[in-house]
Amino acid sequence: MATQGIVTSYFGLIDDATGQLLKGTDGLSDTGIYEADGHQDATAEGATQIAISNLGTAPTLQYSNNKAKRTTNSRSYPTAEFTMLDLGFEAKQKLLGKVQTASKGYVDGEKDAHVAVIAVTQTLDKQHYIYYAFANGTMIEGNKTLGTNTNAETDSNDVMTLTTQSPVVDTQFNGEPYQVASDLIDGFTLDALMTETFPGYTKAASGTTGQ
């Protein structure tokens, strides 16, 4: 169905061996969840665009006797390109799998960070939410273009791409890399989706927000 806008995005680092949500200093916050929706270090934080590609993969036709008689179906492993108006600096480095040096700068780590994400949009009437949840993937920042200020300010927003993989836990999402959900469905709850997407998730008393 048609949707409009971006409501918010939830990110979490997961253990690549167990699939469990990482929390505290190993993760993105005390709860493990980072909601990109503004905080003291990045008040304008949020996504300006989330471009999701390869939600479906076209089948490959197989021929015999001059006819297309069957198909082979490939599994879809989407990519999601996040263009962020702002993002907490440390959270961004962790999402990219970077580690600190002696001078407190960041360089690529030996291992990729494994990331689970929920992107939230809404129906055209703004009465319901649509959720795109990704169980496991890695994020990269491909390019960064800086431009000089003139009489006008030149901003350079972050662009990071999530490449999905199969879930670490085979039963998660029925083994698929992503799922779509909505509060249009009776019985749906965001807490249940968070728990399935981020194994080990526990709702914080004050809700889930960025740090």
Digitized pLDDT (tens) for each residue of the chain, 211 residues in all: 899 999 999 999 999 999 999 999 999 999 999 999 987 777 889 999 999 999 998 888 999 999 999 998 888 999 999 999 989 999 999 999 999 999 999 999 999 999 999 999 999 999 999 999 999 999 999 888 999 999 999 999 999 999 999 999 999 999 999 999 999 999 999 999 999 999 999 987 654 444 4
What is the pTM for the complete model shown?
0.91
What confidence score (pLDDT) does residue 138 get? Answer: 97
What confidence score (pLDDT) does residue 43 get? Answer: 82
Q: Which residues contact 181 (CB under 8 A, 6 or more apart)?
A: 130, 131, 133, 188, 193
What confidence score (pLDDT) does residue 58 get? Answer: 87
Q: Which residues contact 144 (CB under 8 A, 6 or more apart)?
A: 156, 158
